[in-house]
Structure 1
Amino acid sequence: MRFFGFIVGGNSVETASFFVNRSLTSRMLLLGLPLLAAVLALIFFVTGGSLANLVNRAIARNTQLQTQAMSLALEQILVETRNQLLILAAGSMDRQEMARRLKFRSRADGLRYREVAFMGLTPENRYLLLNYGGEIIAVPPHVALDAPAGPFHNISPGQRPGHVNVSQPLEVVYSMVPIDKSLQSLAFYVLRFSTPIYDAAGNFQGILILSLDLNALRDTMSLYSSPEAPISAGAGTRVRSLFFDQDGWMLFQSENLDNDSGEKALRSDAVRAGFRGDFGRPGFSMAFRPGPEHLNYWTMVAEVQAGRSGRLPLSEVGTAWNSGQMRVESVSYAPVTFMPNPEGPRVVVGGLAMLDSSFTSTHAGIQLLSIYTLCFLGGLLLLGLSLWWLARNMGRSLNLLSGELRSRNEDDSAEPLNLPPLPLELEAIKQNVDTLLNRLRRARADQRSQAAAQTALWQREAVEDLPDPADLPTRGLVGASLPMQALYGQVQKASQVLADVLIVGETGTGKELVSESIHRLSARADGPFITINCGALDEALLMDTLFGHVKGAFTEAKQARKGAFLAAEGGTLMLDEVGNATPKVQQALLRALSTRCIRPLGSDHDVPFDTRIIAATNAELRGDGQDGSFRDDLYYRLAVITIHTPPLRQRKEDIPALMVHFMNEAVKTREPGMPRTIPRISRGALEKLMRHHWPGNVRELKNTLTRALTFCDGDLILAENIQLDPGGQPVNDTPDGKASRESRTPEETKGGEPDTHRDPPARPAPTSEQGTGEAPSVPNPDQLNHRQRELLPRLAVLGSVSRQEYQNLAGKGISMRTAQYDLQQMVRLGLMRKEGRGPAQRYVIVQPGGQTPADKGRPR
């Protein structure tokens, strides 16, 4: 940089030359650093000591608060145990009833409560129940008496009702306990709570004992000693907690949450390292008591026995802990107390000691950076005044450089910067900016390419932790998510009663499977299970299907028909899509459900029926009832028990299990084009399935997997094999827009009538009489399946067929539902048209030109 101006001789010339001939860095260091160093030294000297004391007090207060919080958490567990004991004492002392209640508590609280014992006045009124792995085990009386620390030894006499005694922590071992048809030995570490039992007349009946597993206390200590604790000293603080009894015996220590401490045995090896003393307290073989030479430890025990909490700083901790496996900076302690009576005094059960090994106080200098920052900002103010005259001259060059850099970045140009000569430092920056930008662009391009390659490779890796098909049910509902667990519970409860059930859920959520599960688990499982689709049949045919008719009720009624209500006698009748029933059908259903009798068409007498009704709908009938489209009184007749089937988007965690189930089911069918073994699925495909909204629910998922199996060339399903509806709508398989049920195994009902009522209603194609007057176009042969193509010439010769005749012609044991679907598809394509209604309905072949065989020769 060049400066222009008049320079006087003497010392002024020497001073100006000294600064002008220096680089920018040299000028800033020579002028700014001495002033800044002086300011920082002054502030550090004044504030260093006070800040260190403040940090030490804050750390001590925080660790003591954390110890108090842990003590309160343990006391809360003791209070909850006391309340649970009093709740058990308020009920029946019957062993079976007590086992049921203990098992209920084990489901809610896990293995927190290990023992429930009742010591009555006579030996036959005594029993001992153990909670082992969630199962309730009755211990024989002689095994309980043989155990040295059994609950029937050393029990204090009964006191007034509501008084709860708490024992010392105990180690109890039961030998020869019958478990799973074998004799095993069980060992527990427990804290026993006992309370007297009195009858209604005030007579003493015995003592009830409830044991708290010490692992529950250890796990709570582990939680409060971890960085995830509700009150924690911070993520970088390392603490270890110790629990000792009122006599000073070290019992157990906290564990790391990462190591699954719930499965570990109690131990105190880490916290007792460096101590000398005695092992094995009577009733607790793993206990350790330090010797009398550890005065600081026994001072802490004495304070806890007196019910006081405190802290031992580094100077008072002693050499025992600091010579062990970990170095301890301070020890905070607090008593753990218990109130035998709500109004009574507290008793000390034990004590807590929190060992802080983070040495935060000794590293408080790191926290002084905040003060350094404030001091540095003050120094910048003084330094800025000194550098102001330099910034004024350098501003123009810097602005030119900044403008060129901004224009190059906006244009993404690699051209050299077009600037006049700059000072030495800025000239070096100018020369290296282009190189740096070019390198950055190349590096980012390479990084994007590598990331894309890694992502593509990861997307094509196979998922290894999919469920085993052998672990999944072969039929019925599949899934273990919380919504499905709730659904299983509702199905189980609904199957135990005979009340009518209403199943509400979106299309494809498995309402029929829920109905079948209720039927299969109920007392009517041996009876027939019949499904009627109320939305697939017109009013007359649906009335006839449900209630039947007598012989001669109408022209085509050549024989009597029982109808679904009587065909399902002793079993279950499912009314699918009941919300689509017409008002006349609704009125008939209401009368049948109210009187439990039906009147077949043409009959003068009511016929009683013994059939359980399960209705299903994909619409909220209550809202429809308010609008008048569905009767309120029928809704309340059906909705004795209401079950909601969860949509797939609310239980996406079940997608892997459903995927394995459906692929295994497709492979077992051995259909042409399907693989013979279940292919693996890539991470990309699974991620694509998990991201989809699934408006078509499980049915859409099944159809999607069927297509994926069809398009999969190898033994791995890739993301490109998963074809989803881009609009987020359910994937449609059938021409009428409803998901095909052909892939589902057709079930023949047990009442003598096949399930033909779940097909969608047909949509007749316009013929010359119904539409524009033009003959329907010739359908594409690809629109017909192989069965339709083979039978079409024979159908043309016959002229017309019924559904039963078509089924007989097709042979190969096809279901009535499949036959009806084939005929309806040919009607939609204009190859046939329907004539007649009900059982007399026939499908007539339409010849080219829109004529049936019967129309030939007629004037047009």
Structure 2
Amino acid sequence: MTILDKFTEGEVILPPNNPNGLTMRAKLLFTLIPSVIFILMVTGYIAYLTSTHFLNQALERSSKLQVKAVAHEIEGVLARGMQDLLFISRNFSGSEGLRKAFANFSDLEKVDYREIGFISQKDASHLYFVSRDNQVLQIQNSVISSINPDPRLYLEELARLKSGEVWISPIVEVEYPFPQVPNPNQKFRSKVIYFGTPYVFENGEQAGFLLLSMDVRMLRNILSLYNSPQSPLWAFPRTPELRFTYVFDLDGWMLFQSEDFGKKDLPISTDLARGDYVNGTLGKPGLEAAFRPAAHYLPFWKMVNDVKEERFDLIEMTGEAQEPSDVKSYSLSYTPIRFQEKVIAGIAYVDRTRLTLAAGYKHMDMMLILSIITIVAVSLIIFVLSHLITKPIFKLAAAVNNIQKSRKLEPIDIRNAGYEIHLLQNAINSMMDVVNVQMAEIRKKDLKIQDVEYREKIQLDSEFPKTSQETSIDPLPEMVGFGDKIEWLKSDILKAARADADVLIIGETGTGKQLTAEAIHRHSRRNNHPFISINCGELSENLLQDSLFGHVKGAFTEAKTDRKGAFLEANGGTLFLDEIQTASSNVQQALLRTVAVRKIKPLGSDKEFDVDVRLICATNIDLRLLIDKGQFRSDLYFRLKVITIATPPLREHMENIPVLVDHCLRQLRDVTRREGLGMSKGALEKMKRYSWPGNVRELMNCLTRAFVMTTNHTIQAEDILLDADEDKSFASGRLNSAQVKDTANEKQHVSKETDHMRSYEEGIDSKAFPAFHAAVQLNTRQQKVIPYLLSHKTITRNEYQKQVDENVSARTANYDLQDLVKKGMLKKQGSGPSTRYVLTEFV
């Protein structure tokens, strides 16, 4: 039986044959434990009262700061309206000047002014302008009387003003005439506040009055802003209790309240503000949502009287909970709103926070836990102290202190310290072992959770930009992507398609310049005529001239037949010249003449031919730099640069990576019949962190390679092979286990490359290509180019050489391509330098 068992059974407390009664340990237990519990309860209660007091003070200060900040913002807007009106009165220069000033203040200062008018005292030469939806319309003198209420009713108030003084009205609902061409009788209503001031000639004679009105919803939106996460005072997330702000006048009318900041066009209301007031008057002339509580609501009327006397304060209120989660008690802080040093209204902030109540519950929980821990700790200390001597205690304390200083959970080993010390030492060591094991388990679980999360299949459409959900009918579905960059590109394409002028497309490699050219042709009036594409960088000078302008039979030794050339082949349609910057000076000169006169002369011919061709050129180099170096003709540049379209690099619209990945995966699934193969979160994050210097083409190639080479149902991060330098940012952000796994997978990739033919055949359904079966054997060069074929659907001899190896000869490349044609995988289109090989599935 252990000492602990004896302790629980009472043998240690009441040892046998002890005539003196309780032992010292028992006395300490029965004396210290109740005393400690009592002290904890008293100190805990005092701490609770103290913390609650200061917490309430902090909440009061926060509420007062909130209402003060909102009042200051509203006063600033009102002061801005006054300043704008005074500025207009000092610089008034007739109808056009008044209109421009009105429009400029609305646009530049982002103030929602509704109307401005000059009311003449001498004659009927009034000027009146009304604004709605950024349109400013002048109201004729004959129609001013249809404004309800008529602004001339305020002449009595305005007549009391001196020069430089500004009058402000209460909130008024005004009906404005707003005639338009389709609807000459159109009217609209708006709740506004008027600013008025006299207009005086330079000789001091008063000519009339200027009126400026401001939409009240602008002031309401200030309340909504400061009650939202976009508030300038927002410092941390708030608990979800009901909070709102409302404005009241000096007669006790609640005028309007804060709303959802995202819904700025909501009508004026006081639903929340009047929720705690059962009795009162709802609605007043010009403001049907206004509410005035009955006289027996004393705290409310105390607030109104305080505001009249320019005081601000906070009142603890008790009312009905407006929502099940609300508390009945809440704080009501208020402060006056001043205009020209006079109080014109008040603003109140209702905060139904449960922070004090939650803090009280937490305090009680902590006191209970602290009491239990204290009881256990005191009992253990008393139990240990009764069996220990001073020296072993000091040794043990020193050992524990060393652990605290070194912060290393290493075992304690104190020899010959007594049985009790040995028990305590073992307990401490066991606890440290458990903590070490638990910490290791926690780290291990974190790593597993992280790894599992990154390896889970992700729904790509959930990663699409928000603008993708707002898009209705896409006029250019072949241009994949969303956002401003892509929308601008699509807009430029459609504009260029309608214009029927020559186009210069500029953009980095892989940004879709040919796709842009094809889209322009497809949506132009020439879409029923040929679209001819030539890459100037693939051909020598003579071949390029022959490809463009053609030749007649006998023009040179190998000219056995006539050749029309690209200009004549594209007659009536579109000719696309890629990499135009590589054209030699002779080709540039020939192109300049052709573009200027729209005539060509084939090699060896004495006859010129008229051509009706739309020319689209593309370059990935700034042609102005080549012009400065004398490598490109400036006159040709300005001939080509009728319409310029820039294709954005992928790094400027990275939000479209999930869209592009989804589009590419759909194409690959259609080609390979590998349904269900998706993308993991880790792989997508890895692609998002990469800068893609090769743009969309590099992304498609990378994804195609991963799609073809993976044998799993989900593409993982290790399947996405990127440049090592660019991939460091992602690798450093992953946890250690993910790093180890990526490293192991990278090592395995070497063996995968040597045997990727087997995995490729396993990953592609043989039905995708008519002749692609187990009996078909591809050489190493052909295997390398398969991912490129799956992504682009077509290839030329030059592209084949680049994908395989720059050192591969043209003869070898032609042999490999002809071999793929014989095996039924490719079909040859065109002849000569414009020859292309297309996947059989897509012919």
Whether the TM-score (by the shorter chain) exceeds 0.5 is yes
Q: Indicate which of 269, 272, 290 corresponds to 2:271.
A: 269
How far does residue 114 in structure 1 lie from its aligned partner after superposition?
Answer: 9.1
Q: 1:560 to 1:533 in 2, by over 3 A?
A: closer
Q: What is the CA–CA distance in structure 1 between the aligned matches of 2:449 and 2:537, rounded to whole Å? A: 55
- Describe the superposition over 1:456-489 as per-residue Cα deviations: whole angstroms up to 9, x where unpaired: 6x52778678779985555442322233244456
CA deviations over 1:192-214 (Å, ceiling 9, x no partner): 67899999xx9999989765361
Aligned pair partner of 1:727 in 705, 722, 731? 722
1:354 matches 2:390: no
1:253-286 residue CA offsets vs partner (Å, 9 max, x unmatched): 23466xx554755432333234332110111111
1:248 maps to what in 2? 252
Q: Secondary structure at the match of 2:538?
A: coil
Q: Quote the residue 2:542 is aligned against.
A: 540
Deviation at 1:785, TM superposition (A): 3.5
Whether the aligned pair in 1 keeps the contact of 2:162 and 2:198 (CA below 8 Å) is: yes
CA distance in 2, matches of 1:296, 1:683: 62
SS at match of 1:268: coil
Q: CA deviation at 1:250?
A: 0.7
Change (3 A) 1:36 1:227: farther
Structure 1 partner of 2:282: 279
User: Which residue number in structure 1 is paired with residue 334 of structure 2?
Assistant: 333
Structure 2 unmatched runs, 5+: 4-21, 368-377, 412-416, 727-779
Partner residue in 1 for 2:835: 820
Report how far residue 354 of structure 1 moved: 1.8
Provide the secondary structure at the position in 2 that maps to 1:64. helix
Would you say the 8 A contact 1:173–1:188 is kept in 2?
A: yes
2:335 aligns to what SS in structure 1?
A: strand
Letter paired with 2:695: N
For residues 339-361 of structure 1, give each alpha carbon's deviation from its aligned partner in whole angstroms, at most 9, with x where no partner exists: xxxxxx46766432123444878
Q: CA deviation at 1:313?
A: 4.4
Asked if 1:425 is matched to 2:424, the reply is yes
1:699 equivalenced with 2:714 (yes/no): no
Measure the CA separation in 2 of the matches of 1:520 and 1:80. Answer: 54
Give the corresponding residue for 1:647.
649
Quick check: 1:115–1:210 contact (8 Å CA) kept in 2?
yes
Structure 1: tracts of 5 or more residues without a match: 3-16, 339-344, 373-382, 413-417, 747-756, 792-809, 825-860
What per-residue deviation string (whole Å, max 9, x for no partner) do you get for residues 168-208 of structure 1? 43456899999999x99987655567899999xx9999989
2:482 is aligned to 480
Paired residue secondary structure (1:332): strand
Which amino acid in structure 1 is aligned with residue 349 of structure 2? M
The CA deviation at 1:288 is 0.4
How far apart are the structure 1 equivalents of 2:166 and 2:524? 45
Q: Provide the C-alpha distance between the structure 2 equivalents of 1:585 and 1:649, rounded to a whole number of angstroms.
A: 34
- SS of 1:248's partner is coil
Aligned to 1:508: 510
Give 1:832's aligned residue: none
Q: Is the 1:119–1:127 contact (alpha carbons within 8 Å) kept by the matching residues of 2?
A: no
Match in the other structure for 2:457: 459
Helix, strand or coil: the match of 1:279? strand
Q: 1:551 to 1:704 in 2, by over 3 A?
A: same
Aligned to 1:68: 68
| Amino acid across the alignment from 1:507 | T
**Residue type of the alignment partner of 1:533:** N
Q: Which residue identity lines up with residue 820 of structure 1 in the other structure?
A: T
Deviation string 1:740-772 (CA, Å, 9 cap, x unpaired) is: 5897699xxxxxxxxxx9874675999xxx99x
Taking a change above 3 Å as real, the CA distance of residues 603 and 91 of structure 1, as seen in their structure-2 partners, is farther
Distance across 2 between alignment mates of 1:198 and 1:559: 87
TM-score by length of 2: 0.60
**Residues 686-724 of structure 1: CA distance to partner in whole angstroms, max 9, x if unpaired?**
9537735344433345556777888999xxx94239996
Distance 2:658 2:391 in 1: 68
SS in 1 for 2:715: helix
Q: d(CA) in 2 for partners of 1:92 and 1:711?
A: 76
> Within 2, Cα distance between the matches of 1:776 and 1:234?
67
Residue correspondence of structure 1 range 146-295 to structure 2 within 5 A: 167-171=169-173, 189=191, 191=193, 212=215, 214=217, 216-226=218-228, 229-232=231-234, 235=237, 239-245=243-249, 247-255=251-259, 262=264, 265-275=267-277, 276-294=279-297
- Summarize deviations over 1:125-147 as a string: whole Å, max 9, x none: 9886654xx99999999999889
Aligned residues: 722
1:579–1:630 contact (8 Å) kept in structure 2: yes
8 Å CA contact 1:500–1:613 kept in 2: the answer is: yes
* Matched residue SS, 1:425: helix
TM-score by length of 1: 0.59
* Cα distance change, pair 616–776 in 1 and its aligned pair in 2 (3 A): closer
Q: What residue in structure 1 maps to residue 680 of structure 2?
A: 684
* Paired residues for 1:556-571 under 5 Å: 556=559, 561=564, 564=567
Deviates more, 1:267-276 or 1:632-641: 632-641
The answer to whether the 8 Å contact 1:143/1:177 transfers is no
Cα offset, 1:231, TM superposition: 2.0
Q: Is the 8 A contact 1:334 1:353 kept in 2?
A: yes
CA distance in 1: counterparts of 2:77 and 2:473, whole angstroms? 38
Percent identity over the alignment? 27
> C-alpha distance in 2, partners of 1:819/1:517?
20
Indicate conservation of the 8 Å contact 1:240/1:354, yes or no: yes
1:513 deviates by 3.5
SS at match of 1:312: strand
Residues 737 and 518 of structure 1: CA distance in aligned 2, closer, same or farther (over 3 Å): same
- 2:682 and 2:135 map into 1 onto residues whose CA distance is 37
Output one character per residue of 1:551-602: Cα deviation in whole Å (capped at 9) or x when no partner.
87656396585763x8778876543212333344345556777x66777456
